Structure 1
Amino acid sequence: MKTYVYILLTDTGTLFTKSIKKYTKAPYNHASISFNAELTEMYSFGRKNPNNPLNGGFVKEDIHTGTYSKFPNTTCVIYKLEVTNREVEKMKRVLNVFIKNQKKFLYNLIGVLGVSLNEPIEFSNSYFCSQFVAEVFNRSGIRLWDKLPALVTPDDFRKSKQLTLVYEGKLFDYVALI
């Protein structure tokens, strides 16, 4: 049986995402990692409270009750990566460090600016969404690019030849298909 992890890239249409999109010209600007196609076990760095865009950090995302529930017109693209059971084990071990220490982690807003300058800006316990997903892969021995996680953008996932497209469209249309 094949094992996959899933990468969800989204555009909620918020003011913050519109601002990023103006600069990046990329269609999606948020990245999450999921361990199942139903996206019920999904993690990223983003809003801790759907109503407060300024309070960010490590989050277990929930499509039905979290930030996405506030933005029903969210567009997305979903990719899968075939992995071994051992790699999943390693990723979950890395993830457990984030889960156990989630209150210590902050959103790396300055790191987002560093990407635009092609200059990695890293702080201990501080990540932005795509940096976090790339870090999980990196620490698990999966190399999708030859660059530091602090320079990985959501668009890098979209352009990766190692990922397989699963779906593109409205997030809630995908959820309805499952």
Structure 2
Amino acid sequence: MIEAPEGNEGPRYSIYVLLTDTGTMFTRLIKRFTSAPYNHASLSLDAELNGLYSFGRKHAAKPWSGGFVEEDIYEGTYSYFPGTRCALLRLNVTEEQRAQTIRIIRSFQREKQMYRYNLIGLLGVVMKRGIEPKNAYFCSQFVSETLRSSGISLWEQPSTLVTPDDFYCHTAFELVYEGFLYDYPLLDGTRLVFERSRTVTNTSFQLGGKVV
């Protein structure tokens, strides 16, 4: 199980998990099966969410085109869904666990073209049977497996059966914030206003006037 820093000796290190619900047709479909408040999980190395890593849609208008993604709060897919709700969770870890997490993320970044979205794995979650195609992940599977490979084992079940709600309910995580994503106080307010105004102008063109 997880090895957390002991006492108050030395600096504390943290990793963050962002759970979100954009309210799109695809996420509503997932919620019909899970009945959970959030249906997407991302991994972050800082509380400001400057870097978010997950598996999901590569383009805002193409929900079925997925793989490893470096999500951008200000200019990425989230910017097209301003009503996104979220829960930000903090996990205290050791220095080595955090360093190993960074190494694993860098490996995914270098080889991101070889990875794809584990869509059939979502069906496996519903059937309670882990399905693990080679080089394929869904969001919570990726976050769980990255933590597990960093020496942070939170569940007995395989990562292919871990859901965003499992993070939300796990006592090892501290709830830092819950509410609308763009109300999160540690976001860059100046950049947020500029990018959101630009996105509103282009949304109809980019998505054909449809939110999916």
- Which interval holds the TM-score relative to the shorter structure? over 0.9
Q: Which residue of 1 aligns with 2:142?
A: 132
Alignment of 1:28-177 (within 5 A): 28-175=38-185
Identity within the alignment, %: 51
1:101-155 per-position Cα deviation (integer Å, ceiling 9, x unaligned): 1011100000011001010000111000000000101111101111100000000
Q: In 2, distance between residues paired with 1:69 and 1:158?
A: 23
Q: In 1, distance between residues paired with 2:54 and 2:186?
A: 22
Shift of 1:177: 5.8
Gaps of 5+ in 2: 1-10, 189-212
Q: In 2, distance between residues paired with 1:22 and 1:174?
A: 27
- TM-score normalized with structure 1 length: 0.97
Q: Which amino acid aligns with 2:99?
A: E
Shift of 1:22: 1.2
1:3-50 per-position Cα deviation (integer Å, ceiling 9, x unaligned): 111000000001000001111100000000000000011100001111
Question: Do 2:48 and 2:187's aligned partners in 1 also have CA atoms closer than 8 Å?
Answer: no
Q: In 1, distance between residues paired with 2:156 and 2:21?
A: 26
Q: Which amino acid aligns with 1:33?
A: L
Runs of 4+ in 1 over 2 A off after TM superposition: 175-178
Q: In 2, distance between residues paired with 1:69 and 1:132?
A: 23
Q: In 1, distance between residues paired with 2:147 and 2:52?
A: 14
Q: In 2, distance between residues paired with 1:122 and 1:175?
A: 37
Shift of 1:87: 0.5
47-56 or 151-160, larger mean C-alpha shift: 47-56
Gaps of 5+ in 1: none
Q: In 1, distance between residues paired with 2:187 and 2:34?
A: 30
Q: Which residue of 1 aligns with 2:14?
A: 4
Q: Name which one, 1 or 2, has greater alpha-carbon Rg.
A: 2
Shift of 1:176: 5.8
Q: In 1, distance between residues paired with 2:169 and 2:116?
A: 27
For the aligned residue pairs, the C-alpha RMSD in angstroms reads 1.1
| Mapped pair 1:13 → 2:55 | no
Q: In 1, distance between residues paired with 2:91 and 2:56?
A: 22
- TM-score normalized with structure 2 length: 0.82
Q: Which amino acid aligns with 2:55?
A: F
